[in-house]
A and B are shown apart, each in its own frame.
Chain A
Amino acid sequence: MRRRLAPYALILPGGLWLAIFFVVPMVVMLSFSLMQGDVVNGFSLTWHWQNYSEALSDYDDQLIRSLVYGVIATAACIVLAYPVAYWIAFRGGARKTTFLFLLLLPFFVSFVLRTFSWKFLLADDGIVLSPLKHAGLLPQDFHVIATGFAVVAGLTYNYLPFMVLPIYVALERVDPKMIEAAQDLYASPAQAFARVVFPLSLPGVFAGVLMTFVPVSADYVNATVLGGTNNTMIGNIIQNLYLVNNDYPQAAALSFTLMAILLIGIFLYARALGTEDVLEVATR
Chain B
Amino acid sequence: MTSVAAEESTGTASRRTRGRWGDRLLFGYTWLIIVWLCLPIAVMIAFGFNDTKGRLNLTWQGFTVKWYGRLFSVPDLTTALVNSLTIALVATAVSAVLGTLIGLALGRYRFRGQGALNLVQFAAISAPETVMGASLLSFFVQLNVGRGYWTIVIAHIMFSLSFVAVTVRSRVLTLDPAIDEAARDLGATGWTAFRLVTLPMIFPAVLAGGLLAFALSIDDFIITSFNSGSTLTFPLWIWGAQKNGLPPQVNVMGTLIFVAGVLLAVGNALLARRRR
Contact = CB atoms under 8 A, between A and B. Distances in A.
A and B touch in their complex, CB below 8 angstroms: yes
Interface of A: 4, 6-8, 10-11, 13-15, 17-19, 21-26, 28-29, 31-32, 80, 83-84, 86-88, 91, 97, 99, 101-103, 105-114, 116-118, 120-121, 123, 126-127, 157, 160-161, 183, 189, 210, 214-215, 217-221, 225, 235, 238-239, 242-243, 248, 251-252, 255-256, 258-259, 262-263, 266, 283
Contacts of A283: 166, 170
A242 B137 contact: yes
Given A32-B138, A110-B254, A258 B131 contact: yes
A contacts with B: majority SS: helix
Contacts of A101: 265-266, 269
A79 to B, nearest CB: 11
Interface centre among A26, A243, A256 (most CB of B within 10 A): A26
B195 interface: no
Contact of A214 (B40, B128, B166, B238): B128
Given A118-B40, A121-B43, A221-B222, 17 more contacts: A11-B105, A22-B136, A28-B138, A28-B139, A87-B26, A99-B34, A101-B265, A106-B40, A110-B221, A114-B41, A120-B43, A120-B58, A157-B37, A239-B130, A239-B226, A259-B131, A283-B166
A121 B33 CA distance: 17
B49 to A, nearest CB: 15
7 shortest interchain CB distances as A-B pairs: A218-B128, A117-B40, A14-B98, A25-B139, A108-B261, A10-B105, A7-B109
A87 B138 contact: no
B38 A105 contact: yes
A63 to B, nearest CB: 12
Nearest to A87: B26
Contacts of A31: 142
Contact of A83 (B30, B98, B266): B30
A123 B246 CA distance: 15
Given A160-B37, A255-B134, A263-B127, A23 B254 contact: no
B191 interface: no
A210 B122 CA distance: 12
Contacts of B162: 18
29 contacts: A6-B105, A11-B102, A13-B97, A15-B102, A15-B117, A17-B98, A18-B161, A22-B123, A22-B135, A25-B138, A32-B142, A83-B30, A103-B33, A107-B219, A110-B221, A111-B219, A113-B44, A118-B40, A126-B58, A189-B18, A214-B126, A238-B134, A239-B225, A239-B226, A255-B134, A258-B128, A259-B131, A263-B126, A266-B126
B239 interface: yes
A225 B215 CA distance: 23
Contact of A14 (B18, B101, B257): B101
Interface residues of B, number: 86
B158 interface: yes
A19 B139 CA distance: 12
Interface centre among B30, B114, B239 (most CB of A within 10 A): B30
Interface of B: 15, 18-19, 22-23, 26-27, 29-30, 33-34, 36-41, 43-44, 47, 58-60, 97-99, 101-102, 104-106, 108-109, 111, 113-114, 117, 120-121, 123-124, 126-132, 134-139, 141-142, 154-155, 157-158, 161-162, 165-166, 170, 215, 219, 221-222, 225-226, 234-235, 238-239, 242, 246, 250, 254, 257-258, 261-262, 265-266, 269
Given A7-B111, A91-B23, A117-B44, A105 B234 contact: no
Contact of A10 (B101, B154, B235): B101
A217 B129 CA distance: 10
Nearest to B35: A102
A109 B18 contact: no
Contact of A13 (B101, B117, B121): B101
A106 B37 contact: yes
Nearest to B259: A108
Contacts, number: 236
Interface centre among B47, B225, B246 (most CB of A within 10 A): B225
Given A18-B162, A87-B30, A263-B123, A108 B36 contact: no
A108 B261 CA distance: 6
B246 A183 contact: no
Contacts of B59: 127
B262 A84 contact: no
A24 B43 contact: no
B124 A112 contact: no
Contact of A113 (B38, B130, B137, B254): B254
B130 A161 contact: no
B126 A161 contact: no
Contacts of B269: 97, 101
A113 B221 CA distance: 11
A217 to B, nearest CB: 7
A248 B97 CA distance: 34
Contacts of A120: 43, 47, 58
B164 to A, nearest CB: 9
